[in-house]
Amino acid sequence: MSDAGLSALRVEYRADSTATLLDRPDTLAVLGFGATETGDTDPRHLCVPLRPLSSKAPREHWTVGAEVATGRDGDLRWAAGGGWRFIAIELDEARFGGIEAASEHAYTLLPAHVAACPERHLQRVWNYLDAINAGEGDQERYRLFCNGRARGLVARGINHYPAATAIGHHGPRGLLQVYALCATQPGHALENPRQVSAWQYPRQYGPTAPSFARAMRLPNAALAISGTAAVTGHASRHHDDVAAQADEAFTNLASLLERAQLPAFDVHSPLKVYVRNADDVPAVEAALARRLHAAVPRVLLQGDVCRSELLVEIDGWRFAS
Ligand code: 3EB
């Protein structure tokens, strides 16, 4: 144990089978990408319906230096140990009549569960929904998702936001997945000097500004980095130029690391790269080769960014070297 009673959280991409990873008592979460794996009901396992675009399709493996307990609470499941907690919520929008009400439901359950458990500090959330850019103007599904998320958080009086990602999947219609990392100690939210804070975005991006911080300095001093795209100020940059967008995203990431006084990404910095169009993979790979050390673990996933003009987004972790 270190860091005020927190055990060591690690996140790694691994080629091992889900069963092998779940066999470890210190496994907090296993995230699979792509096709749904059936036959196991372990609360620590979540299949994210984002198709891997790289040849290897590893799993994301979270471990804590402690024994993990698990449970279920209605639509929500959890795993906890060593001061950390993984929470996953999977909803079928049809039960709620649409994405906005489903999102509000998820963001009612999540903070209520968090408030009642020892790991009561929400650090990082991932949100995956289908057809994220469908709908015109304020009816765009991402904007409806933001409305529901904010309503749930406001009802709990939450005005300090976790780091987050919101990406469109091409899996089962109406499937909303929200998963999160919490800890017994608070983290410290970080903003990016190159970007307007998302919760302060002007009205043109929707009726409810997105409720997330650009990054979260976790209580173990690692940095959990939100989905980062080619946004400067509040504007999307380099429409129709995926290579320039990837470069801009890396400049944003470098700015965040500088703000956090952390060195460049290395082998302890697993990144997820969401690419809208599979045809753009070579251009994105080239940008990654230019901007990232070869040792930086990364997975490329097919995912839709929440503004239709954005073609690539990157999220990840920066653990201590
Ligand atoms: C952006 O900078 C890109 O709504 O949770 C990135 C990360 C984005 C998280 C969210 C949205 C979210 O605005 C989009």
Q: Can you give the pLDDT of all 321 residues of the chain as single tens digits? A: 445 589 999 999 999 999 999 999 999 999 999 977 765 689 999 999 999 998 777 999 999 999 999 999 999 999 999 999 999 999 999 999 999 999 999 999 999 999 999 999 999 999 999 999 999 999 999 999 999 999 999 999 998 999 999 999 999 999 999 999 999 999 999 999 999 999 999 999 999 999 999 999 999 999 999 999 999 999 999 999 999 999 999 999 999 999 999 999 999 999 999 999 999 999 999 999 999 999 999 999 999 999 999 999 999 999 998
The per-residue pLDDT for range 57-69, each reduced to its tens digit, is 799 999 999 999 9
User: Which has the closest alpha carbon to 230: 242, 217, 214?
Assistant: 242
**Ligand 1 atom closest to residue 210's alpha carbon, by position in its atom list:** 4
Residue appearing with tokens 């993990």: 68
User: Which residue owns the Cα nearest ligand 1 atom 3?
Assistant: 229
**Distance from C-alpha of 125 to C-alpha of 242, rounded to nearest angstrom:** 26
198 lines ligand 1 (CB under 6 A): yes
Distance of alpha carbon 315 from its chain centroid, rounded? 7
165 lines ligand 1 (CB under 6 A): yes
212 lines ligand 1 (CB under 6 A): yes
Dihedral angle, C-alpha 208, 167, 48, 112, nearest 10 °: -20
Residue appearing with tokens 């927190």: 6
Cα of 22 from ligand 1 centre, angstroms: 30
CATH fold for domain 10-318? 60s Ribosomal Protein L30; Chain: A; (3.30.1330)
Q: What are the beta bridge partners of residue 89?
A: 76, 178
**Distance from C-alpha of 57 to C-alpha of 268, rounded to nearest angstrom:** 19
The per-residue pLDDT for range 28-65, each reduced to its tens digit, is 999 999 977 765 689 999 999 999 998 777 999 999 99
**DSSP structure string for 219-264:** TTS-EEEEEE-SEEBTEE-STT-HHHHHHHHHHHHHHHHHHTT-PP
* Whether the Cβ atoms of residue 317 and residue 274 lie closer than 8 Å to each other: no
DSSP state of 267: T
Our mutation pick for probing the ligand 1 site, out of 161, 165, 190, 307, counting the most ligand atoms within 8 A of Cβ, is: 165
Say what angle helices 141-155 and 99-115 make with each other, to 10 degrees: 30
What lies within 8 Å, CB to CB, of 69 at 6+ separation is: 79, 80, 81
**Ligand 1 atom closest to residue 306's alpha carbon, by position in its atom list:** 14
* Whether the Cβ atoms of residue 163 and residue 124 lie closer than 8 Å to each other: yes
Cα of 210 from ligand 1 centre, angstroms: 7
166 lines ligand 1 (CB under 6 A): yes
**Distance from C-alpha of 63 to C-alpha of 9, rounded to nearest angstrom:** 6
The pair of three-digit structure tokens given for residue 213, joined into one six-digit string: 């911080």
3-class SS at 150?
Answer: helix
**Ligand 1 atom closest to residue 125's alpha carbon, by position in its atom list:** 5
What is the DSSP pairing of strand 188-190 with strand 215-217?
antiparallel
* Whether the Cβ atoms of residue 30 and residue 46 lie closer than 8 Å to each other: yes
User: Which has the closest alpha carbon to 272: 236, 253, 298?
Assistant: 298
128 lines ligand 1 (CB under 6 A): no
Q: What are the beta bridge partners of residue 243?
A: none
The pair of three-digit structure tokens given for residue 68, joined into one six-digit string: 């993990």
Angle at 199 between CA 186 and CA 130, to 5 degrees: 95
Our mutation pick for probing the ligand 1 site, out of 212, 228, 253, 315, counting the most ligand atoms within 8 A of Cβ, is: 212
3-class SS at 305?
Answer: coil
Q: What are the beta bridge partners of residue 76?
A: 73, 89
Angle at 167 between CA 227 and CA 266, to 5 degrees: 35
User: Which residue owns the Cα nearest ligand 1 atom 14?
Assistant: 306
The per-residue pLDDT for range 145-174, each reduced to its tens digit, is 999 999 999 999 998 999 999 999 999 999
213 lines ligand 1 (CB under 6 A): no
3-class SS at 304?
Answer: strand
Report how far apart the first and last C-alpha atoms of the chain are (Å, whole number). 18
